[in-house]
């Protein structure tokens, strides 16, 4: 799978860009189910069914008393990495659905140094091949 920025393509050309980036051994067609689903967002044909994310100033986060602590783990003594766990929030369900582990940049660990040398957003591109 490859990520690419759809905003770099004209609206009329974006579906062809998806075809060009496709890695399936089978040739996709415009009638392909996955492409039809994707096309609804590009062509904005189903806007009436899109969920609208509430305005930023309307969000209210209230602790519900169910704080969870992540299980601790033992790392090798030669690993000097520290992570911050940032919540990923689903604004419609108003719940934390996942956590993103981010290497702390203020450390002198090899991972933190590697992250610090990357431009904004490049960490995701660098991390993708590991998945």
- Based on its alpha-carbon atoms, the radius of gyration of the chain, rounded to whole angstroms, reads 20
One domain for residues 46 and 72:
no
pLDDT for residue 50: 66
One domain for residues 1 and 39:
yes
One domain for residues 78 and 128:
yes
In this prediction the pTM is 0.36
One domain for residues 73 and 32:
no
pLDDT bin (cut points 50, 70, 90) of residue 75 is low
One domain for residues 119 and 89:
yes
One domain for residues 43 and 98:
no
One domain for residues 72 and 128:
yes
Could you say which DSSP state residue 102 is in?
A: E
pLDDT digits (tens, 9 = 90+) for 17-65: 777 776 666 666 667 777 777 777 667 666 676 677 778 788 777 777 6
Phi then psi for residue 87, to 5 deg, are: -75, 145
Residue 44, domain extent: 1-50
The tally of domains found in the chain comes to 2
Q: Are 94 and 100 in contact (CB under 8 A)?
A: no
């Amino acid at each position: 799978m490859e990520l690419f920025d759809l905003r770099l393509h004209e609206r009329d050309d974006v579906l062809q860009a998806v075809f060009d980036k496709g890695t399936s051994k089978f040739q996709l067609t415009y009638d392909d189910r996955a492409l039809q689903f994707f096309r609804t967002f590009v062509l904005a044909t189903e806007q009436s069914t899109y969920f609208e994310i509430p305005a930023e100033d309307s969000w209210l986060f209230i602790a519900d008393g169910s704080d969870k602590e992540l299980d601790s783990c033992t790392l090798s003594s030669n690993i000097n990495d520290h992570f911050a766990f940032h919540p990923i929030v689903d604004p419609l369900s108003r719940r934390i659905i996942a956590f993103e582990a981010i290497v702390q940049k203020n450390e002198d660990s090899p991972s933190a140094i590697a992250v610090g040398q990357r431009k904004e957003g490049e960490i995701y591109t660098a991390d993708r091949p590991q998945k």
